[in-house]
Structure 1
Amino acid sequence: MNCRRLLITIDGNEYAAELQDNPCAVALKNELPVTLTFQDFGGQEVLAEAPKKLPMSGMPASAGASPGDIGYYSPTGSIVFYYASVSPFPGIARLGHFTEDVSFLASTRENLEVTISLAE
């Protein structure tokens, strides 16, 4: 079975998410589990350096994001959790979405340790 469900652990709390079925998301899935340190960026998202560059082949050149979306920003190689809406921008790829409210991320500023793993 092709598992697309994620378990994302943030400060000891577990959150459910689902990956999309696209080349960039599959590449991230193949790197899991991974623990990353996220930082706030621009008052709209938290981001961390991906374990390795993810492929953009077959992905749209740009995308927007909504609160709860999980993305990849290819120019910097960053995994991104969005807590605000973002207009389409070149280099953004949508990887998935949290299935729970993540508005608490808006109060995050730096050094947020996050473990991303496949849900069982």
Structure 2
Amino acid sequence: MKNFQRILLSLIVFLMFLTACNSRNNEENKSSKEINMTIHQSSKQGVTADESNNRDSQDPTSNYGGADAMEDIKIKLTIKDEEVIVNMYNNPTSKDFLSLLPLTLTFEDYAGTEKISYPSNKLSTEEAPSGSDPTIGDFTYYAPWGNLAIFYNDFGYSNGLIKIGKIEYGIENIGNISGDFTVKIEKMD
């Protein structure tokens, strides 16, 4: 009976050890994935992982007027027969974009997170923050590449990303589109 108890106790200790090791491996794998994602995001912007991790943690859009919608300035994105309405923010990049309207652009998917397009002109980055952390529905301008980006999934902080608006409704019409698609962009009255 004592042998049975010793074997059972040994088995319990062994299982606890395996559980602890597995938990540690999962944490290391998660940490490794987070580091790789940070490096991937940072390399997209041309900075090192250390520079990305040392960025200012406060929301840079608050210093740029990104949190404030321009009074009654909205744009309409027409995709096939569906409409997406965007409240525009009050900042120089947003105002520069509005000066280009109306536009018809072709968007494509990028990384299963955003739809991107390249307007013919680069937009102003005057007074822009060093970057931002986009959320679902953000209408943005990625200054290093000169592209617009509409986020239909969360992404993470990106250097050079400037929020220029927020989708009021219709985000579900963006994320479900596969392949390239044409968007007519115009100011609303």
TM-score category by the smaller chain? over 0.9
* Higher-helix-fraction structure: 2
Report deviation, 1:87. Answer: 1.2
Contact 1:3 1:118 in 2 (8 A): no
SS at match of 2:90: coil
The 5 A counterparts of 1:1-120 are 4-120=73-189
State the number of aligned residues. 119
2:85 maps to amino acid? A
Contact 1:46 1:108 in 2 (8 A): no
SS at match of 1:98: strand
SS at match of 1:9: strand
| In 1: Cα distance, 2:96 partner to 2:179 partner | 26
SS at match of 2:133: strand
Cα-to-partner distance string for 1:1-31 (whole Å, 9 max, x where unaligned): x751111101121221111000000000000
Report deviation, 1:44. Answer: 0.3
Identity %: 24
| In 2: Cα distance, 1:34 partner to 1:101 partner | 19
Contact 2:110 2:116 in 1 (8 A): yes
Runs of 4+ displaced beyond 3 Å: none
SS at match of 2:178: coil
| In 1: Cα distance, 2:74 partner to 2:158 partner | 26
SS at match of 1:99: strand
TM-score with structure 2 length normalisation?
A: 0.60
Structure with greater Cα Rg: 2
2:159 maps to amino acid? P
| In 2: Cα distance, 1:101 partner to 1:11 partner | 13
Q: Which runs of no fewer than 5 residues in structure 2 stay unpaired? A: 1-70
| In 1: Cα distance, 2:119 partner to 2:184 partner | 12
Which is bigger in relative contact order (C-alpha 8 A, separation at least 6)? 1
Contact 2:83 2:170 in 1 (8 A): no
